[in-house]
Amino acid sequence: MQLTKPITVVVGILALGALIFNFYQDSKVSYLFGREINPWLYRAFWLVVVGICIYNYIYIDRNTLKNKSAARRGNKLKIRSRN
């Protein structure tokens, strides 16, 4: 799932906050989508969400850098061909 960089950061921070709060709260049962689940499954879910956000952030950053360098090469080639 491809998201924009700011949305990825916000979702990642919220997921990390939910994960940390769940460790702090230390409840016997957690609720996810209205259902009671084991707290460790809840933590695993939010950990996966954080992992996906980190992966998307790195993926977006790499593609941005590749596109910028490709644009620079294209501009240099255009300038050289004009001379």
Q: What is the pLDDT of residues 4-25, one digit of tens each?
A: 788 888 999 999 999 999 989 8
Q: How many domains does the chain have?
A: 1
φ/ψ of residue 35, rounded to 5 = -115, 145
Domain span at residue 24 reads: 5-82
Q: Which two tokens stand for residue 30?
A: 């957690």
10 bridge partner residues = none
* 80/64: higher pLDDT: 64
CB 37 within 8 A of CB 31: yes
pTM over 0.75: no
